[in-house]
Amino acid sequence: MPATRADLFACLQRLGIETVTFEHAPLFTVEESRKLRGEIAGGHTKNLFLKDKKERVFLVVAEEDSEIDMKSLHKRIGSARLSFGRPELLTELLGVAPGSVTPFAIINDADRRVSVVVDKGLLRHARLNFHPLENTATSTIAREDFLAFLRHTGHEPAILPVSGSPDDVEARDAGLEKREESAK
């Protein structure tokens, strides 16, 4: 039986992770979610449930407005060619339905079949927003707490530049590295 929203919140509480949750009408797409901008602060995301030709499964978490080139994504994450995972596989592995894809659903992947890939650019936000296993709410979590949650479930996230053109990624990464060095 997949974890419920209450199970997720209990897990986060045991880990000492605080979240703030906003209830809303069901949201099925990034476009629908944009209606909440200005009401919920932090980075808003899109979450892609993907499978490669070798049957490996990935959950790619990126900023909602990021452009992800599906034709080259496999090169960036080190996989075979990718396609969207079937809804039945999504339900089997992550316990959620299409429209409710969220990295919080990784709590249901006890066999660790899903590799989590987080777009490096998303982590510039101190707070991130995800559905808490249902698309009728959005939960805000601190960036470090999000990464701690993933690690707690046994999923070490691959933090990679997955959005934008290769030139955009190089320029963005150079800018991020420059800011990181000046912050030291």
Rounded-to-integer distance, Cα 70 and Cα 48, Å: 10
Per residue in 43-66, pLDDT (tens digit) is 989 999 999 999 999 999 999 889
Greatest alpha-carbon span in the chain = 48
Has residue 113 got a pLDDT over 60?
Answer: yes
Per residue in 120-169, pLDDT (tens digit) is 999 999 999 999 998 889 999 999 999 999 999 999 999 999 988 655 54
Q: What is the pTM of this model?
A: 0.84
Q: Which residues contact 48 (CB under 8 A, 6 or more apart)?
A: 58, 59, 60, 62, 68, 84, 101
Has residue 27 got a pLDDT over 50?
Answer: yes
Domains of the chain (ranges; CATH) run 5-183 (3.90.960.10)
Q: What is the predicted pLDDT for the residue at 40?
A: 79
